[in-house]
């Protein structure tokens, strides 16, 4: 996967803080490890530290994964509106370049830290650790991590999140779960996004999408929604609320 796209090479990524200052750090620096250890050993150690930090502050972290253009940012914008006054939300945005998505989130009155990865096709735990330093964790109980748009690499990197949510847009094929099984197997919830387009699309069948998902995961829950119309959002926000409560009870 990453050996083909080049994202395992040493590279600089940039974390943009709330006041738009830039913190430059090196991601995926070459290290010497025992050949019997996982290649993701260092990442997993950092992910554990991230998770412990989030638990200490009673924050539930949701990692959003999907292909580019599936509607992750639009989902977050609508979710922020729906949960206003119910949860204290912050967002970490991941993209190769630009702060476009972070600006959209900030326009909703929510703190957003933009990570620009350069050529890396996913976020990793060190990037998230650097971003967490830019947030006031005492003022957050629900943290969304919008991963880089990619249906392959993001699923392999633990960030310290508590739940993975994978989006499947109606503008994509309904057989995507079978084509990209790793990212859908990693999901605690799958969302069929842009459901408002089903009326004009004849090549995406939600029933086939459910069957495709069931063929690789068995019983992963699937919800259908539209950030544009709000259809299906009651179920989505209920899932978020229950996930947050469950995490707090476990703590």
**Mean pLDDT on 123-136:** 97
Angle, helix 233-250 to helix 72-82, in steps of 10 degrees:
80
- Which has the higher per-residue pLDDT, 126 or 39? 126
pLDDT tens profile 50-70: 999 999 999 999 999 999 999
Backbone angles phi, psi at 25, to 5 degrees: -140, 160
Domains in the chain and their CATH numbers? Answer: 61-250 (3.40.50.300)
- How crowded is residue 22: how many other Cβ atoms within 10 Å of its Cβ? 10
pLDDT tens profile 6-37: 555 445 566 665 555 555 445 555 655 454 56
Structure tokens that stand for 213 in this block: 């998902």
Who's near 219: CB < 8 A, 6+ residues apart?
none
DSSP state of 37: S
Of the listed ranges 8-12, 70-74, 244-248, the one predicted with least confidence: 8-12
Residue 6 pLDDT: 53
Q: Is the pLDDT of residue 240 over 90?
A: yes
* Terminal Cα distance for the chain, rounded: 35
Give the predicted TM-score (pTM) of the model: 0.86
Residues, the chain, total?
251
Residue 119 pLDDT: 84
**Res. 1 pLDDT band, cuts 50 70 90:** very low
Q: Where are the alpha helices (DSSP H) in the chain?
A: 2-5, 41-56, 72-82, 100-106, 125-132, 176-179, 181-185, 206-217, 233-250
Cβ–Cβ < 8 Å for 52, 132: no
Residue 19 pLDDT: 58
- The Cα 224–Cα 101 span in angstroms is 23
pLDDT tens profile 180-236: 999 999 999 999 999 999 999 999 999 999 999 999 998 999 999 999 999 999 999
């Amino acid at each position: 996967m990453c050996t083909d796209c080049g994202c395992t090479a040493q590279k600089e990524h940039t974390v943009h803080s709330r006041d738009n200052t830039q913190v430059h750090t090196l991601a995926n620096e070459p290290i010497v490890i025992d050949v019997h250890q996982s290649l993701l050993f260092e990442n997993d150690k950092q992910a554990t530290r991230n998770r412990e930090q989030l638990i200490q502050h009673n924050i539930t972290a949701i990692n959003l994964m999907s292909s580019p253009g599936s509607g992750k940012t639009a989902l977050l914008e609508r979710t922020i509106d729906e949960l206003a006054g119910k949860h204290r939300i912050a967002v970490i945005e991941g993209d190769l370049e630009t702060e476009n998505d972070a600006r959209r989130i900030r326009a909703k009155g929510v703190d957003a830290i933009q990570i620009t990865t350069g050529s890396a096709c996913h976020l990793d735990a060190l990037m998230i650790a650097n971003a967490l330093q830019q947030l006031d964790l005492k003022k957050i109980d629900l943290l969304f991590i919008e991963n880089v748009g990619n249906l392959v690499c993001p699923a392999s990197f633990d960030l310290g999140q508590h739940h993975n949510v994978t989006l499947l847009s109606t503008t994509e094929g309904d057989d995507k779960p079978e084509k990209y099984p790793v990212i859908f197997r990693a999901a605690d919830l799958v969302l069929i996004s842009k459901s408002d387009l089903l009326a004009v699309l004849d090549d995406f069948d939600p029933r086939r999408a459910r069957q495709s998902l069931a063929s690789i995961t068995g019983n992963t829950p699937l919800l259908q929604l539209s950030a544009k119309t709000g259809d299906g959002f009651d179920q989505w926000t209920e899932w978020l609320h229950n996930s947050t409560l469950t995490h707090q009870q476990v703590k």
